[in-house]
A and B are shown apart, each in its own frame.
Chain A
Amino acid sequence: MSAGTVTTSRSSRRALARQVGQVRKQNKAAYLLLAPSIIAMVVLLGYPLYRLVDISFQEYTLRELFARTTVYNGIDDYRKLFANGSTFPTIALRTVIVVVAMVIGTMVIGTLVALMLERLKPFMRSVVSIGLLTSWATPSVSATQIWKWMFDSEAGILTWVLSLVGVDLKGDHSILLSGPAILAVVVVVVIWGAIPFVTLTLYAGLTQVPKELYEAAELDGAGFWLKFRGVTLPMLRPIFLLLTTMSVIWDFRTFNQVWVFNHGGPNQSSLLLGSYSYYASFVEHDFGYGAAIAIVMVLGMFAITFYYIRQMVRGGEAS
């Protein structure tokens, strides 16, 4: 009897040891697979990120950059963000408004176009797909140049079109002279470039939704809106979550469009947080302050998207 318990406990201990060994072995294999990505990210992002944090606590201007000296100034750079007369709060608020407009515009139009794609005949569907691929493939630097050219105050085609409905963007009314006007066009450029990815991903998701669900909903007398809310939305929830979160992150970082348009001008009025950090560093040569802006921005974005990212990580866990 007692011998029996000993053997069982010994075998169970051996089983446990084997399990632990397996966990350790799994760990080792996993870390081996992850090693290249971790090394690359630590060297080229982790270390520079550490330096960025370090710089944000320094007095770091051109002088320090070239002399390679280090002068710590505590949280002065951060204090400057909220000091009297600082443009940071204005730009942060502006960024939030612009990002909300971009994300809502992208998701709503992207969803509508995806629903449309699903109902089109194959020929029209490939016509629209080719159109989408064309705008998707257009580099953001080119795209911004094109839109800027279409809104040119002398000979822009959209300037002409708008003049027909009484909107004057010529001469003194050039959009380049107004921050809000530039940002309105930047929103359009970003949405124009972001719709293809969102649409094609959603369309791919739509093709995976079982047709029986729609048929069942139709038998229950559901119309377009009810079918969308009752079937499409819940089925595509993970995709919507991913796309919205990624859009928020990508749109917060909008840089090329703002910079190519007018370098954040006139008078900083078209700067968004992403370009403000660059502006502080490379126009005002205050790298410490630029770093502080970037860090506050990352923390803010992390706070906004944390809940959704946790859900996405959990979703990945369940699968």
Chain B
Amino acid sequence: MTTYAGPGTASGATSASRRSAKAPARAARRRSSARAGRRSTRILLNLAAIAAFIFATFPVYWMVKTSLVPTTSILGDGSSGAPQVLPFPLTFEHYARQFQGSAGQQPLSDALYRSLFVALASVLLSMVVAFLAAIAIARFRFTGRAVYLIALMGIQMIPLEAMVIPIYTTLRDADALDSLWSLVALYLVFVIPFTIWTLRSFIAGIPVDLEEAAMIDGCTRFQAFWKVLFPLIAPGLVATSIYAFIQAWNEYIFCLTIMNTGHGTLPVWLGQFTGKEGTDWGAVMAGSTLFTIPVVILFILIQKKITTGMAAGAVKG
């Protein structure tokens, strides 16, 4: 049964010793088979883990790899042999083209500044607004609470792409087109239904007694929220601000319609490289890499905070 024998198992024992100590040998064999079973499970698990890792990261690797080879090797020689897996011959020509920019194109630095401004401003504002609203839902019983909660869910079902025209005309009538603050306000509104919903469960997981103790010690109710509750749900705030950041960082259509040409954020800037006469894959992949890698690094740096935040949020679902 045990074709695989680990060190210290009985399968290598002589027949004599096996006969003389039959019962212990059988027990040992059973133990060893269990251990081997456990070991093969572990090998399978690790193989599955490697497969999951490759599935998750290969496309990103392929993007980086494509951005680092000359256009001629990207497209191959037409004989359709196996694609090259390593970035060889290495070149930075696609990046050089991105950084130099060309006449009539929006500079990378300008798009980067706009992206960072919009993302950071909308994250900070949405955290404040969502924190206040989440307190109201988690700590107060008020008329219209259920309606508010259902509205939060309902809002998330609206396909935002369908809202481009009414939002465009609304901003046009308010004379607020081509303004980064309009984008900030829009992204704020797009993310708060979800962030309020999530923060609510974080707050619900923290005992009210803590705030009540602070109030007995002379805090007002709002001081108790600020001094006691706020630090306690910091992990939750990190987790939800990541969500808000990604939304603002990725948003494409509204930026395209609301901002004038040359005033776009990175996704729109990235769009300029998809020309009419076929896609310049080297340029697109270099642009995508510049756009993607900062977020990947940010995610990996604050990895621990994200997962602990999620663990805390998961308690209450």
Partner of A113, one of B52, B145, B291: B52
* 5 residue pairs from A and B, CB less than 8 Å apart: A45-B189, A141-B288, A192-B56, A274-B159, A319-B204
A166 sits at the interface (CB 8 A): no
Evaluate contact between A291 and B196: CB separation under 8 angstroms.
no
Please measure, in the bound complex, the distance between the C-alpha atom of A301 and the C-alpha atom of B146, giving whole angstroms: 19
Evaluate contact between A277 and B167: CB separation under 8 angstroms.
no
Partner of B154, one of A236, A302, A315: A302
- A204-231 vs B, CB cutoff 8 Å, 1 = contact: the mask equals 1101100000000000000000000000
Evaluate contact between B303 and A133: CB separation under 8 angstroms.
yes
In the complex, identify which listed stretch (B13-21, B90-98, B132-140) lies at the interface while the others stay far away. Answer: B132-140
- Interface of chain A residues 166 through 186 with chain B (CB within 8 A): 170
- B250-267 vs A, CB cutoff 8 Å, 1 = contact: the mask equals 101100000000000001
Count of CB-CB pairs between chains A and B under 8 Å: 290
Q: A205 — which chain B residues lie within 8 A by C-beta?
A: 314, 317
B5 sits at the interface (CB 8 A): no
- B193-224 vs A, CB cutoff 8 Å, 1 = contact: the mask equals 10010001100100000000000000001000
Q: B221 — which chain A residues lie within 8 A by C-beta?
A: 29
A124 sits at the interface (CB 8 A): yes
Please measure, in the bound complex, the distance between the C-alpha atom of A295 and the C-alpha atom of B23, giving whole angstroms: 75
Evaluate contact between B246 and A137: CB separation under 8 angstroms.
yes
Evaluate contact between A204 and B310: CB separation under 8 angstroms.
yes
- Interface of chain B residues 45 through 64 with chain A (CB within 8 A): 45-46, 48-49, 52-57, 59-60, 62-63
B68 sits at the interface (CB 8 A): no
Evaluate contact between B288 and A44: CB separation under 8 angstroms.
no
Q: Known contacts A34-B148, A277-B161, A313-B146: does B140 contact A29 (CB below 8 Å)?
A: yes
Partner of B53, one of A30, A128, A155: A128
B164 sits at the interface (CB 8 A): yes
Please measure, in the bound complex, the distance between the C-alpha atom of A293 and the C-alpha atom of B158, giving whole angstroms: 11
Evaluate contact between A133 and B300: CB separation under 8 angstroms.
yes
Evaluate contact between B246 and A116: CB separation under 8 angstroms.
no
Evaluate contact between A37 and B62: CB separation under 8 angstroms.
no
Evaluate contact between A124 and B150: CB separation under 8 angstroms.
no
- Residue of A at shortest CB range from B172? A68
Please measure, in the bound complex, the distance between the C-alpha atom of A278 and the C-alpha atom of B164, giving whole angstroms: 9
A88 sits at the interface (CB 8 A): no
Please measure, in the bound complex, the distance between the C-alpha atom of A27 and the C-alpha atom of B253, giving whole angstroms: 38
A157 sits at the interface (CB 8 A): yes
Q: B234 — which chain A residues lie within 8 A by C-beta?
A: none
Q: B153 — which chain A residues lie within 8 A by C-beta?
A: 305, 309, 312-313
Evaluate contact between B159 and A136: CB separation under 8 angstroms.
no
Min C-beta distance of A119 to chain B, whole Å: 6
Q: B166 — which chain A residues lie within 8 A by C-beta?
A: 48-49, 51-52, 55, 291
Partner of A116, one of B45, B82, B148, B295: B45
A142 sits at the interface (CB 8 A): yes
Q: B267 — which chain A residues lie within 8 A by C-beta?
A: 139, 141
A67 sits at the interface (CB 8 A): no
Partner of B317, one of A128, A133, A143, A241: A241
Evaluate contact between B291 and A142: CB separation under 8 angstroms.
yes
Q: Known contacts A26-B140, A36-B133, A37-B130: does B292 contact A139 (CB below 8 Å)?
A: yes
Evaluate contact between A149 and B281: CB separation under 8 angstroms.
yes
A284 sits at the interface (CB 8 A): no
* Most interface-central of B130, B154, B196, B306 (chain A CB within 10 A): B154
Q: Known contacts A155-B74, A155-B76, A294-B162: does B307 contact A41 (CB below 8 Å)?
A: no
Q: A37 — which chain B residues lie within 8 A by C-beta?
A: 129-130, 132-133, 192, 196
Min C-beta distance of A165 to chain B, whole Å: 14
Evaluate contact between A138 and B292: CB separation under 8 angstroms.
yes
Please measure, in the bound complex, the distance between the C-alpha atom of A208 and the C-alpha atom of B143, giving whole angstroms: 34
Q: A34 — which chain B residues lie within 8 A by C-beta?
A: 132-133, 136, 148
- Interface of chain A residues 128 through 175 with chain B (CB within 8 A): 128-143, 145-147, 149-150, 152, 154-155, 157, 160, 163, 170
B1 sits at the interface (CB 8 A): no
Q: Known contacts A45-B163, A277-B159, A281-B162: does B170 contact A200 (CB below 8 Å)?
A: no
A242 sits at the interface (CB 8 A): yes
* Most interface-central of A127, A134, A207 (chain B CB within 10 A): A134
Evaluate contact between B252 and A141: CB separation under 8 angstroms.
yes
Please measure, in the bound complex, the distance between the C-alpha atom of A135 and the C-alpha atom of B63, giving whole angstroms: 12
Min C-beta distance of B89 to chain A, whole Å: 16
Please measure, in the bound complex, the distance between the C-alpha atom of A182 and the C-alpha atom of B169, giving whole angstroms: 33
A93 sits at the interface (CB 8 A): no
Q: B180 — which chain A residues lie within 8 A by C-beta?
A: none
Q: Known contacts A33-B132, A133-B303: does B157 contact A124 (CB below 8 Å)?
A: no
Min C-beta distance of B124 to chain A, whole Å: 13
Please measure, in the bound complex, the distance between the C-alpha atom of A30 and the C-alpha atom of B129, giving whole angstroms: 13
Please measure, in the bound complex, the distance between the C-alpha atom of A290 and the C-alpha atom of B153, giving whole angstroms: 22
Please measure, in the bound complex, the distance between the C-alpha atom of A236 and the C-alpha atom of B314, giving whole angstroms: 9
Evaluate contact between B142 and A131: CB separation under 8 angstroms.
no
Evaluate contact between A132 and B56: CB separation under 8 angstroms.
yes
Evaluate contact between B140 and A51: CB separation under 8 angstroms.
no
Q: B161 — which chain A residues lie within 8 A by C-beta?
A: 253, 255, 274-275, 277-278
Evaluate contact between A255 and B159: CB separation under 8 angstroms.
yes
